Amino acid sequence: MKLFLTGSTGLLGSNLVPLLASRGHEVTIMVRTPDQAAAAFADVPGLTIVPGDLDTVEKVRPHLAGMDAVIHAAALFTEYYQKPVPWERFEKLNIEATVSLLKMAKEAGARKAVFISSVGALADPFDKLMDPLSTSDFYRRSKIVGEQRIAAEPGLKDFPIVILRPSYIFGPNDPAPTSAGKFAQEIVKTGKLMLFPGEAIPMVDVRDVAMAVALSVESETARGPYNISGTEIPVLEAVKMIAANVPGAKISSVPAALGIFMGSLIDVKVRLFGGINPMPPEGIRFLSTRLHIDATRSISELGVQYRPFEETARDVANYWIARVKRESGAAS
């Protein structure tokens, strides 16, 4: 199949692009920095790279001709948790650009689309979309409204769209890195990490999310939303499992309330003087609040097989041990 993918250079995309190519698909990716993407995917055969971003998504319209499916994984995400970003930016990039891209895909003759949402859009324990105004987390709100807009958009009527809602993603090959990757990076670099205890939340290996995307594209019947989640454990326990694979690493805990307070103080500093908040209060609240997700449809209908988190923890630790060693050697 000929596939068009956005969000290819993040954690999911970095694992998804090689997987799709290995399954015989012809992959075209939209990226902001083509040269960097070409270097990152130098070993992926037959990859086509086109410049583009969510601010100017209309420019990729010519590249959608002849595509069998469009996979939309790009989104404004990390910036919200680390520095102030107004709702209007989320509205433009995560909602308006999403609807525009999916409409262009349909108009170009694509047979289907896959949209990457988030379990953060769901209310627990009802497995339904939250009221968007019930959360001050603009990323989560944008995913809620994005799903609502897709369902209500007349221009997308009768266009098969699969919505995948991954839970908190861990995994190797994390270029940025993500918040989960930063936990592992810190453990490997310093041998220690202080984190807050919390309730069990859903987690998933990025490789299982990538496989869910591939199976969704290849399925003739998949349509609608699927929750993508493999394990439910507290973040503190997940981090301890990663640390168990790093010789000498020690994990300590701090009350979530204290973390939120400290993060709020840093937020004030960031708003006044700029910079990045390493302890975003909204991120702490989300990761310390119970959330139960039912992922049985992804197993029964898509055929996703979720690996145990012990395997994920081991592979994440080994990835970061190798990467930190490599980067340290390059810097010396």
Residue pLDDT, tens place only, 157-202: 999 999 999 999 999 999 989 989 999 999 999 999 988 888 898 9
DSSP 156: G
- Output DSSP code: residue 306: P
pLDDT reading at 247 higher than 60? yes
Among candidates 72, 25, 78, which has minimal Cα distance to 47?
A: 25
**Is residue 263 in a domain?**
no
Count of structural domains, the chain? 1
Residue 283 pLDDT exceeds 90: no
Predicted confidence at residue 288, as pLDDT, reads 73
Averaged pLDDT, 136-159 = 95
The answer to whether residue 124 sits within a structural domain is yes
Q: Which of the given ranges, 77-81, 125-129, 218-222, has the highest pLDDT on average?
A: 218-222
**Would you say residue 222 lies in a domain?**
yes
**Nearest by Cα to 19 from 207, 270, 255:** 207
pTM above 0.85, yes or no: yes
Among 22-26, 80-84, 89-93, 114-118, which is the least confidently predicted range? Answer: 80-84
Taking alpha carbons only, the member of 237, 233, 247 closest to residue 195 is: 237
CATH code for the domain in which residue 301 is found: 3.40.50.720
| pLDDT higher than threshold 90 for residue 268 | no
Mean of per-residue pLDDT scores for the chain = 92
Residue 80: is its pLDDT beyond 60? no
Any domain includes 77: yes
Q: What is the pLDDT of residue 262?
A: 75
Q: Of 145-154, 265-274, 277-286, give the lowest mean pLDDT range.
A: 277-286
Q: Tell me, yes or no, whether 271 lies in a domain.
A: no
Structure letter (DSSP) for residue 289:
S
Predicted local distance difference test score (pLDDT) of residue 278 = 63
> What is the rounded CA–CA span in Å between residue 98 and residue 102?
6
Could you list the residue range(s) of the whole structural domain that residue 222 is in? 2-169+203-229+292-307
Assigned domain for 234 exists? no
State the amino acid at position 65 in one-letter form: A
